[in-house]
Every structure is written in C-alpha cells, then in structure tokens.
Amino acid sequence: MAKVADSALSIIAETSSRPAVSIACRALLWRLATHPHQLHDGQVYVELSIGYLQRLAEVSYGSANSAWHITSSRLPWHPIHRNKIERLGFMPRQIRKGGKWGQHLLFEEGVHQQLQEFAEWMIVNGLWYPPSPDISEVDWTPLRVVRGRNRLVAHCPWHEDNTPSMLININQDDPRTGYGVCMACHVGAKRLSAFIRLSHDGVSWEARLSRAAKSAAENLQPVNSYSPIDGIHNQGALGKVGSPGRVVLGRLSPAGLVGDYAKGGLLETLKWADRCGEAAERRAYSASAYYATGWHDNTPTTFLPDRLVSVSEMRASSWRSFQRGQREVFVPSRFKATRQRWVLMDLDNLDRTPIMYGKRKFISWVAAVAERDNKLSGKFASVRTSPNGIQIWYELANPKDPEPFFRSWRTRKWLNDLGKGSLDYLGEMGCTGGIVDQSAFAGGRFGRRPGWRLLDWGEPYRVSLIGSSTP
C-alpha cells in the first residue's frame, strides 16, 4: 500500500489550505475504491465523472474539477476512450437515450487493491465519512429557474431577489443536475455557489448550498431595517452570505449607466480619481472638438462619459451578458442600495469665484461641521463639480439601511438644514445664489467623482477634489 498511500497523503497535504478541494479529493479517493468496477486480465475498469464527484462531495463544480486533475496527476490511472472498452474485455454501462458516460479509467489490479486499503484507513482515521443513504434529501430549497436572454437564470433563495441574479450551469454529463452562482451574494472573497437538481416531479428545480456557503449561512443574523445595520452588513462580516456589496463607480453615456465596484471606500475612491493624468485631458479636448464640429449627435457623453460614484454601498440586482471572443461576460445592469455610510450635499447654481480664493477657509468650516454634529463620524470630502457647483460628502457615525433612513422626515429635515447651512456660509464668503438639490437625499444616488467631463455647451471641465479628511 506504500506507493498509493504516499501519493494519496501528498494529495491531502497539498490541498489542506483549500477545504472544498480537499474534501473533493478525499471523496474521489474513497469513491475510486468503492465504486462499481470490473476486473479482467489484471486490470480494473471504473467509470466516474466530475459532476458525480461534485454531488458526492457537496462542493462546487470548480472545486471538484480541481480535485479531479490534482488526483489524476498523482495516481497511476489511465484514461481510455469508450471505443476501446469492449476490446479490452469490459462491458460499458448502458445509458438512456440522450445520456452521457463519465470518464473511463483503467487501474492495475494491485493499485486498485491499495486504493481500497487506503479508503478503509481514511474512514478509520476520520478523514472521510461515507455519505448516509438519505443525505441527498437534506436541506434542498425550491429554486425558481427562468430562461434569460442567453441562458438559464434563477431567483436566488438566499437573499431578496426580485430580478434573477443566479446564473445556472447544467452538467454536461448529467442534465438533471448542475450548479448555480449568485452574482449578488458572497462567501469570503468568492461568490455564493449552490448545487441544483431536478425535483422528483421532473419539472421544478431545487438547490442546496455548498459546504463552505452552508457554514457561513448558519451564522447569519436577522437585520432590523429601522436601526443601524449590523450583523451581515457590517465591515467585519462582508464575507458572509448576503453581504451588501461596495461603492459603485458609474459612467453615464448615451447607452445608459454602466457600473462596476470600486476597489476601496468612498474617500479612497475620490482621492484616487483626483489623480487624473494627461491621457484623460487629451481625451477631454478631443471630445470637445468632436462636439463643437457636430460630427455626431451633439451628445458630449458620446466621447467622454460622465464619471460618477455612488453615495450608497450597493450590490448588483440584475445582470446583462455580452460575448468577448469565445467567452460570455456578465456585467451589472442594475444596482440596489443596501447600506448608507455617507450623505451627499449637492449645491448648484452658485457664483463660485470667491471659492477659488478661500478653499482652506471653506474646508475648515466643513471639517468643523463634521466634528460638531453627533450624527456624523468626522470624515468628509468636498468636490468642485462645475464652475457653479459643489458637492459635500459627510460620513455617518452609524451606517444605516437606506430606505427607512431617507424615508424619515427627521432625516430629510436634518439633511436640508445641513445643505442650507452650507449655502449660508458660502454666502458669507461672497457667493451668490445657490440651491440644494434634494434629489441626492435618497438611496442609490450618484455624485460626481474627480476627472474630466464636458459641460452642456461642450467645454471640457475638470472635476476636482477641493479637500477632504484623512482616510
């Protein structure tokens, strides 16, 4: 048993830092030894598939695929083509019309006997527990599967999913089974994956969480939507199922809003965007020239999209796909606000000439407001959006659920008073006019991030960061 045992133990040791792959490797080692097989002329024939291993080990298809290739590189088995099975003296499994075989594997008789001994050793030492007869009937959840534009999608049963956000993949070797990946839920740094299968009625579908996702889901806590968000929505628990997502970077063009997740928080994103290079400047002036000559449809954003950043932390609620070469790529098409950490004061129609000479004084006043108000954390940022517009960002002391937070009349009055206070101070500095855009007082809104843009009349203008607190 020494040779096979050494190879098998090296497989288990190599995958110890990848729990799902390690489970799949041990399941494969056990099943190769116990699966129905045929013996002829000193050789053992076994038929297995990666899809079968996925269901046995209760891991994602990717983990099962990794385990299969790791094991095949260490164990002395020989894959053979189906046409050679009968010539070698074996009888292939009879399948139904439309069904598919798994992979056909050939072992030396001595190697297979050593595998059987190692499988018994794993069970004795607690490295593998053979599945009970009724394990396949535990924890299955009804899954609503629909036909999308290009593929099957489903409403994820582990979060409030009004539009289908789970992508469905059917196993090629067994069309009654497959797996789903939710583009909105996360487990650690990865997306939530689940096994799916046809129900006993042969029409509806069921889903069950993988081992890693199941352990994370058991720790979920209910969220009180009328109090500051905690539990699965706080910064320390972003890896759990149903995490709220992140700040979204938006680009507004004639094709609509295109969004993607920012790598950092809002303050880091604004400072990163403020470092706009010469390439963006050249693009801005080229866009201005195209606009001025009227070569296209007089839409400045055709050449230079407006660059935005979300006030709320959001996650994708629906997705659209497009082809990139041979791959199908999915990008978010709509977002849902899940947590409010910042509020935005959008001040328009200002005479901003005095601001150019009083930036430090203005930033000192904004910092004092952020420190004085007990509803704010003390962090802030201010962005110059146009020759007559300013946006002021304040971080909340306690993150909120966006919908009930903005629905409260007390919240709206407080925000309106903050905006009017800003206008009053700007008036003392010599600015005239100005209005508070109250449409910013809602979840899922966007503010401008630093960078070049085109004004309504086609002139390029650089949105810039006036000042901010330290991150």
Distances (CA, A) of 137 to 133, 134, 174: 9, 6, 18
Confidence of residue 138 (pLDDT cuts 50, 70, 90): low
What is the distance between the alpha carbons of residues 206 and 409, in angstroms, rounded to a whole number?
43
Residue 134 has pLDDT above 60, yes or no: no
What is the distance between the alpha carbons of residues 251 and 387, in angstroms, rounded to a whole number?
21
Taking the mean position of all CA atoms in its chain, how far away is CA 318? Answer: 12
Regarding predicted confidence, which is higher, 232 or 430?
430
Residue 230 has pLDDT above 80, yes or no: no
Confidence of residue 240 (pLDDT cuts 50, 70, 90): very low
**pLDDT given for residue 98 in this prediction:** 64
Average pLDDT over residues 94-109: 79
Among 51, 47, 54, smallest CA distance to 94 is for 47
Regarding predicted confidence, which is higher, 217 or 320?
320
What is the distance between the alpha carbons of residues 208 and 211, in angstroms, rounded to a whole number?
9
Most confident of 74-83, 203-212, 299-308: 74-83
Among 28, 48, 24, smallest CA distance to 211 is for 24
Regarding predicted confidence, which is higher, 312 or 294?
312
pLDDT in tens, 362-397: 889 999 999 999 999 999 999 988 888 899 999 999
Confidence of residue 280 (pLDDT cuts 50, 70, 90): low
How many percent of the chain have pLDDT more than 70?
72
**pLDDT given for residue 64 in this prediction:** 87
pTM (predicted TM-score): 0.48
Among 59, 355, 359, 315, smallest CA distance to 182 is for 315
What is the distance between the alpha carbons of residues 119 and 410, in angstroms, rounded to a whole number?
66
Q: Picking from 255-269, 284-298, 318-332, which range would have the lowest pLDDT averaged per residue? A: 284-298
Regarding predicted confidence, which is higher, 470 or 150?
470
Rounded (10°) CA dihedral 92, 93, 96, 100? -70
**pLDDT given for residue 367 in this prediction:** 92
**pLDDT given for residue 255 in this prediction:** 54
What is the distance between the alpha carbons of residues 395 and 412, in angstroms, rounded to a whole number?
16
Regarding predicted confidence, which is higher, 316 or 2?
316
Among 408, 257, 260, 439, smallest CA distance to 344 is for 439
Residue 2 burial by CB count (10 A; 0-12/13-18/19+): exposed, middle or buried?
exposed
